[in-house]
Chains A and B, each alone.
Chain A
Amino acid sequence: MNSTSRLIAALALGAAGAAFAQGNPPTTAPANPATAAGQQSPSGGAMGTTGVTPESGGATRTTPPTAQGSTDTSSSSGTTVAASGDTPAMRRARADRN
């Protein structure tokens, strides 16, 4: 095989590779919708427990400011309070009697 043939073969192989690449275009759609849009556990932990740090015998948890009772939900706009047996989720703000 002379150099011209090798050049033609190389070009053909490159064109085929490009054709394969073009056949699988990139997409913005996530392969798994459940892990899309931010809420991902970086360390493989359960959802809703990211960022938990032990503190003073309890743990901090994030609850929405309007929550009564306590459901563990992640919310970047929530109010973080220390969670222990004596620490309630803060109740809804209301006017006091001054």
Chain B
Amino acid sequence: MNAVKPGTGAASRQLAVLAVAVLAFAQVPLAAAAQDAQWLARAAVAAADNRSAPFAVIDKRNAHVFVFDATGRLRASSPVLLGLARGDDSVPGIGERPVSEIRPEERTTPAGRFETEPGRNTKGEDIVWIDYDAAVSMHRVRATQKSERRLQRLASPTVADNRISYGCVNVPAAFYDAYIQPVLGSRRGVVYVLPETMAARKRFDFLGRPEQRLTRRGFSPAG
């Protein structure tokens, strides 16, 4: 019987060290993203901006969503897919245009504080509207267009390939069902989308309040 045994040679040890190093390196950006999101979450809760309700923070730079409970404690996080184009605003009137008429540079995921609401799209899918007027929602990842390779993009450890949508936030289906739907899918809520082209305080008023002037990378008053 051929049992699989752990390697004991020098090569095995080197591989193990390499694997640990790779894993540690991969965790660094996520850890930094989590710290940014947690910092914003603490500030939001301190300012009562979340209205004592659970909420989510989307870090566009690291393509992650973080779900917090009402007290600002991190409950879960996941990679997400975001708008193809870099930018923090939606083009006026984009919500009224079919996706086929949206140019690549217009495919942005807007940043800021959004009061979300549960809803449905025209295909009857339950979604969470982030910005109803701009037609930006958070929904389960859609793999209908094979050439876009959305599932593979979500699974990859890199961030750059997570920019593919027309502005919506695509979440792994299991994560959506476990965390997004219960928190934001049945009631109004708040989602904070961290900007990628400017300081966060320019998009979140509560960061400008005296009690919130804490300095942190990317969030200091100087930006």
Contact = CB atoms under 8 A, between A and B. Distances in A.
Contacts of A88: 117, 188
CB-CB nearest 9 A-B residue pairs:
A97-B167, A97-B166, A96-B137, A86-B187, A93-B120, A86-B188, A97-B168, A98-B166, A96-B121
Interface of A: 82, 84, 86-88, 90-91, 93-98
B7 to A, nearest CB: 46
Interface residues of B, number: 32
Interface of B: 53, 83, 94-95, 98-99, 102, 107, 117-122, 124, 127, 129, 132, 134-137, 139, 142, 165-168, 186-189
A93 B165 CA distance: 20
A88 B187 CA distance: 7
A87 B187 contact: yes
A88 B122 CA distance: 19
Contacts of A97: 83, 94-95, 99, 102, 107, 134-137, 165-168
Contacts of A87: 186-188
